[in-house]
Amino acid sequence: MGGKFISMWNSGKGQDMKEELTDIASNAERLAKLARVEILRMTFRAQASHVGSALSVVDILSTLYAGGAKIRKDNVDAVDRDIVILSKGHAASALYSVLAIQQFFPLSYLQSYCDNGALLGGHVTSNGLNGVELSTGSLGHGLPYGVGIALARKLYGVAGSVFVVMSDGECDEGTTWESALLANHHKLNNLTVIIDRNRIQSLGDTEKTLKLEPFKDKWEAFGWKALEIEGHHHLSLISAINEDRGGPKVIIANTTKGSGVSFMENSVLWHYRSPNNAELESAVQEVLADK
């Protein structure tokens, strides 16, 4: 899949690519819907936290695993596979659901999410789980790791892209900006960061906690190609993923925490709270309803 997508699309050329990206977007939409239901069920069963965080990022992950990244159940061990790192490890239920639906491991594993000793920890746990590249949860570590892999691939001439999916709250961490400097210095055009820009961190508004705006300008000042898009729109996501660049690229995906379940949307409460039986039923109904 080439990168000249936008200009080709506008000029009416590249019909094949247009169709390919539209297919990926509609597969991603289906995948995200199924994953939302699994996230809700897992969070209810385990009475776990972070359902709002998982619903916020699930469209981004679905777009990557529906074909935005070249990673499938049958190439997980390939040296040149695309690598996806979910740095906001507290949204583990989103990654696990998407991977299970894409058959990286059996769907039945989702039933053990957060159980003592289970493979599926409450934060992303890579221990033996197919498709999970890195254990995360301590915020601010996914990007340094991703920069290391992307740089190593450049040095050793290994193909394959690296995608790091981060939260906006993680941009309060110094490690993020050290990594941003390094990625630009080495012109890592094999590295893409996608930021789940829901404007909420654990206890409130990101701009009141530690101001990030003007956010896009900051990334550009660090030498990155920066795009800002609607983060629940699969075609916008896949188009941004396919845009050309000469160095590292960041996609600021404007999202809604709790997206898809109206009573969870934009609510700090649902960072930690888990649904009760009635809330689960109503949430699943809303996700499954045709819009």
Ligand X SMILES: Cc1ncc(C[n+]2csc(CCOP(=O)(O)OP(=O)(O)O)c2C)c(N)n1
Segment 69 to 88, residues that bind ligand X, using CB under 6 A: 88
| Identity of the residue, 106 or 204, whose beta carbon is nearer to Mg ion in the bound complex | 204
200 binds ligand X (CB under 6 A): yes
Q: Are 239 and 231 in contact (CB under 8 A)?
A: no
88 binds, among Mg ion, ligand X, none (CB under 5 to 8 A by kind): ligand X
The owner of tokens 């920890």 is 121
| Identity of the residue, 200 or 226, whose beta carbon is nearer to ligand X in the bound complex | 200
| Identity of the residue, 24 or 200, whose beta carbon is nearer to Mg ion in the bound complex | 200
197 binds ligand X (CB under 6 A): no
State the nearest-atom distance from the C-beta of 245 to ligand X, in Å.
25
| Identity of the residue, 198 or 242, whose beta carbon is nearer to Mg ion in the bound complex | 198
Q: How far from the centroid of its chain's Cα atoms is residue 15's Cα?
A: 28
| Identity of the residue, 88 or 233, whose beta carbon is nearer to ligand X in the bound complex | 88
Of 10, 21, 45, 22, the C-alpha closest to 280 is 45
Name the residue number minimizing CB distance to ligand X.
169
Q: Are 67 and 27 in contact (CB under 8 A)?
A: yes
198 binds ligand X (CB under 6 A): yes
139 binds ligand X (CB under 6 A): yes
The residues, ordered by sequence, that sit 6+ positions from 89 with a Cβ below 8 Å of its Cβ are: 123, 124, 135, 136, 137, 138, 139, 142
* Sign, Cα dihedral of 97, 100, 106, 107: positive
| Identity of the residue, 202 or 276, whose beta carbon is nearer to Mg ion in the bound complex | 202
Contacting positions for Mg ion (CB under 5 A): 167-169, 198, 200
Task: Tell me which stretch binds ligand X (CB under 6 A): 18-26, 97-105, 134-142, 234-242.
Answer: 134-142
169 binds ligand X (CB under 6 A): yes
Cα 76 from Cα 55, distance rounded (Å): 25
Segment 140 to 159, residues that bind ligand X, using CB under 6 A: 140
232 binds ligand X (CB under 6 A): no
Of 164, 102, 153, 93, the C-alpha closest to 130 is 102
Report residue 68 as tokens: 């935005």
Report residue 208 as tokens: 């009141």
188 binds ligand X (CB under 6 A): no
Max Cα separation, the chain?
55
55 binds ligand X (CB under 6 A): no
DSSP tag of 235:
H
Length reported for the chain? 291
Choice from 68, 122, 137, 142 touching ligand X (CB under 6 A)? 137
Give residues in contact with ligand X (CB under 6 A).
53, 56, 88, 90, 137-140, 167-170, 196, 198, 200-202, 257, 271
